[in-house]
Amino acid sequence: MMEIKGTTKITGVFGYPVKHSLSPVFQNSAFEYLGLDYVYIPFEVKPEDLKIATKSIKIFNMVGVNVTIPHKKEIIKYIDQLDEASEILEVVNTILNIEGKLKGYTTDGDGFLKSLKEEGNFDPKNKNIFILGAGGTSYAICGALIKGKVNYIFISNRTYENALKLKKHLNKRLNFKNVEIIPFEKRNEISIWKNIDILINTTSVGMKKNDPLLIERENIEKVKFVYDIVYNRKTELLKVAEEFKIQHLDGLSMLIYQGAISFEIWTRKKAPIEIMKKSLYDKIKKDG
């Protein structure tokens, strides 16, 4: 157990709810492992209190915080500057307090990319992507993949208009034209599957036990890599990937890597990824 002292530097997460957050587990083990005088605390912040909570980062002279659901967009109003990804995506998941000025970052996309390259040992350069979903996570992941120089992105989303918004965003803001929308009803029928390298699920489908498999087995079989951002259970999608011996990663990997980038922003030290991973897996095993 770490010792909290007068000098201890405070980090944490603002969320609502925040009780189930796994970040305190691996952030605190990382601090402890490196002997850093830091602590990571969950803060349950109601939406109506977000402004004053954000101000308290300065008042309490905290190092910074993570920001999670439902505050990722709203908090932008209350901070002083944004990094490039946050500005483009209009979301913030990490704040750094730089001598009383709050700077916002978004580490989800970079965390995704880094996990794919380092843990998955897979370089998305020149690859074709099929992505399910067009919510905030999909924006972050598409942005990172474009940074990673992918060839083509196919987007399929339950609500067509949301896919269209994402496509326009990638066309205009990121100047990336190789984007095509696959109507959700047609996702399994199209002939592109033989050309898809990476299949990514960014939807919440798979979190619940009886959730359907959105992509048919014979299509999954054709891809080279499967990434499912769901992390609370082994999804049907991941089970199929495993069965076909397709390389795959789950949301825990993205969770660790996005957290590792936040850790590095706050401490300027290299995050001990393996320690973070181990503490997280131990915790999950313990809780069943």
Cα separation, 106 vs 72, in Å, equals 9
Q: Calculate ∠ Cα 275-277-280, nearest 5°.
A: 110
CB 201 within 8 A of CB 230: yes
CB crowding 67-90: b at 16 or more within 10 Å, else e? bbeebbeebbebbeebbebbebbe
Nearer to ligand ATR, 202 or 258 (CB): 202
Nearer to ligand ATR, 168 or 270 (CB): 168
Nearer to ligand ATR, 9 or 158 (CB): 158
Please, what's the largest Cα pairwise distance for the chain? 62
Nearer to ligand ATR, 200 or 261 (CB): 200
User: Which residue, among 131, 79, 125, 129, has the nearest Cα to 105 in the 3D structure?
Assistant: 79
| List of residues contacting ligand ATR (CB under 6 A) | 133-138, 157-159, 162, 202-205
- Shortest approach of ligand ATR to residue 168 CB, angstroms? 15
Nearer to ligand ATR, 74 or 135 (CB): 135
CB 23 within 8 A of CB 53: no
User: Which residue, among 150, 152, 154, has the nearest Cα to 116 in the 3D structure?
Assistant: 150
The residue of the chain with the least Cβ separation from ligand ATR equals: 135
Cα separation, 23 vs 149, in Å, equals 30
Nearer to ligand ATR, 69 or 98 (CB): 69
- Shortest approach of ligand ATR to residue 204 CB, angstroms? 5
- Shortest approach of ligand ATR to residue 184 CB, angstroms? 7
- Shortest approach of ligand ATR to residue 13 CB, angstroms? 15
Write the single-letter amino acid at 225.
F
**Residue appearing with tokens 């074709």:** 128
Task: Tell me which residues are annotated as active site.
Answer: 72
- The beta strands (E) that lie in the chain are given as 9-15, 38-44, 64-67, 81-82, 94-98, 101-105, 128-132, 152-156, 179-181, 198-201, 225-228, 247-250
- Shortest approach of ligand ATR to residue 113 CB, angstroms? 17
- Shortest approach of ligand ATR to residue 36 CB, angstroms? 30
